[in-house]
Amino acid sequence: MGCHNFYDLLAHVGCKIECVTYGDPVVNVAVECTDHNEVLMDYDVDENPELVEMMIEDKLGKTAPACGNTIIDTLFREEE
């Protein structure tokens, strides 16, 4: 299922939306509507488990800001 166009997503205006992970270690992240118990969009992990670990630690407040952009910038800067 999921949202693939304007009308799919419009049906969830006003719903309670959550962003959650699945697996330990994490293998999938999803945006879900908890009112309709429906996955709106999701992605499987790529081949970079180090980045996943850094971002999860970040979300738990152990490192920098909640949005992963700073972590991603730092990771790619170190690889140059």
Binding site for Zn ion (CB under 5 A): 12, 15, 33, 35-36
Q: Indicate the residue among 41 and 56 with the shorter CB distance to Zn ion.
A: 41
Which of residues 4 and 36 has its CB atom nearest to Zn ion in the complex?
36
Q: Is the dihedral of CA 33, 41, 57, 26 positive or negative?
A: positive
- The least CB distance from residue 2 to Zn ion, in Å, is 12
Quick one: 30 or 52, whose CB is closer to Zn ion? 30
**Which residues, including other chains, have CB under 8 Å from residue 41's CB and lie 6 or more apart?**
2, 3, 30, 31
Give bridge partners of residue 29 from the DSSP assignment: 21, 43
* Residue 22 CB, nearest approach to Zn ion (Å): 19
